[in-house]
Every structure is written in structure tokens, then in C-alpha cells.
Amino acid sequence: MIIESLPKVELHCHLEGCFRPATIREIGRTIGLDVPLDPEAFRREWLITEPVQNLELALHKFANIQSIWASTEIIERLTYEACEDACAQNLKILELRYSPDFIASGHERLSFEAIHGAVVRGVERARTPDLAVGLIGIIRKILDPRQAAYTTDFIIAHRDSFVGIDLADQDIGFGIRRFAPMIERARAAGLHFTTHCGEDDVPEAPQHVRVAIEELGAERIGHGIYIHRDPQVMALARARQVLFELCPTSNWLTSSVSSISAHPIRALMAHGVPVSINSDDPSLFGIDLCHEYRVLHRDLAFTREEFDRCNDAAASHSFLPHEVKQRVWPRPIPAR
């Protein structure tokens, strides 16, 4: 099986976590950042390539990366290169998600409008008949209500270029309910909804996912791996055909699982829960999507048929319009 030749879908990829090391070193010099030129030093200081104690510690590594997104020219270039790299891996459908307030933080000259305009231009520059790209706007769970509402309204106002909305950052448990009115506004405007949820190893993790599905109407779940501990929540996800955006290496590096072989992806699939394979923050982890396929093939004996099954589910659950997806996907996609 030649991994690189498989047609692929990626639904869970943070734009801020996509970059080429050579580009980062070049940009760093131009904006006065001390980016190591030595590849090993760069990996050690800027990337997460070994498991960290928990997700909170992993998020701190984003400080270096965030500092790079310092101008509209840089944002456009990094977005363009992310799409170009996706094409090189034979991706056919790509959803990139990003947080406007995360990129804007510390960059006083960057408004949400300027940031989004640069992202859209980067996608347009990379446009090709072989790749369909959608954008998802992130609301960070750590924002106060006023900031969260502002970000939500911005995403809704640009619903012509966003396909969905996401809640991200550390799990805040049942506090996710406070976002329900914002999600309803976004849904009424025609946006789809996914959320990071159930990623942390806590007893109530499956119930966090249940709340996201039942009370907020989540169509997809980012990670959500700990539902494997609760057959009732898995049955709920299967009955509603909620797709889980799984990121094996990310879960290992953030110590959500002890190894790739211990990842519960097969448990979810065995219970009929739709899943997709994703890289999460590929460049931050020193990987790409093809790497995820290789480790699943190596450690969990994934076959070509299973990869196709996951990709067909991902294509079907993508938030892009059905006709856009079907133009690039090589097999028929059930309309949702």
C-alpha cells in the first residue's frame, strides 16, 4: 500500500499549526525573532515531538508559533503553503480551522478582518481543481462571554467564507453549555458546528460529549476519544451519526493515550461510530497526515479498505457543500 497515493480527507487541522520549518526560519529573521537555524535545535525548542505531561503544557508551545503570524503577508503565505502541502499528500478535501483572536493577540495591527482576508487570499492563491478547501472559525472556550460573542458574530458575518464554527482549547466540562446561544445563532446563519470535547482523561469526559451532542447539537466531535468508556454515549453518537475527528499522534503527544497502539480508534469503529483521521497541528508535532496513516498501518494494522472507509465517512461529513465535495472525491458521497 502506497500511503501517499491514497485520496484523503482532513477535517481537523489547525491552520496555526501548519508551517514549513524553512519558512519559519526565514520569517523569524525578517521580524526579529530568534528562530534556531539548526534543525535539531528547532525541533527541540519549537516543536512537540515527545509526549508532554498534559494538554495544558502542550498549548504553551503555541506561544512561539503564534508570534510568527505577524502580518497579512505572512498569514497569506502560510495559508497558501498549507494548502500546497495538502495537495502534495493527495488530499482532496481539506478543512482548515483557525482562531481569529489567537492570531490577533499581541499583533496590534492585525484586525479580525485583516486576518481573515489574508487567510482567504491564501486559499484562493492555492486554488486547484483537485482540492476543495473549507474554513472553520474557532471560538476559544477560555474567552470571556463578551469576547466569545464578538468572535462568534465575526464568524457569522463572514459565513460566505466560513463553513463552520468550532469550540476549542482545554475542556471546560459542562460549562460548554454557556456557548449554546452563540452556537444557535451560528446554526441559524447556516454554519455547521463541531467542538473539541472528551479529549482529557477525566471520569466525566463521555458526559461532556453527550452534552455537546444532545444540548448543543454538535455534528462532529474533535477528539472525543474517551467515549469508549461509555457504551451509551457511543450508542448516541452512532444513532445520530456524529463523526469523531481523531488525531492519534496528537493524542499521544498530549498524553491522552499512552501509545498509538493504545488509541481507541478501533473501539469506536467497532461500535459503528463514524471516524476520520487527522493531523491536528501537523507542523507543531513534526508530522503530516501521511504520517498518521503510516503509524495506524504499523501499530494498528489498518488496511487500505479501512482507510477508504474513514475517508468516505470524512468526505460525507465535511461541512463543504455536497456538490463541491463530489467534484473532487473519487467515490459517490451520501448527501447529508
Q: Which residues form the catalytic set?
A: 199
Three-class SS state of 132: strand
DSSP line for 267-334: HHHHTT--EEE--BSTTTTT--HHHHHHHHHHHH---HHHHHHHHHHHHHH-SS-HHHHHHH-SS---
Compute the C-alpha angle 148/277/142, nearest 5°.
Answer: 15
Element spanning 246, H or E: strand 243-246
Strands 164-168 and 132-140: parallel
Q: Are 24 and 37 in contact (CB under 8 A)?
A: no
Q: CA-to-CA distance for 128 and 124, rounded, in angstroms?
A: 9
CA angle 83, 58, 47 (to 5 degrees): 55
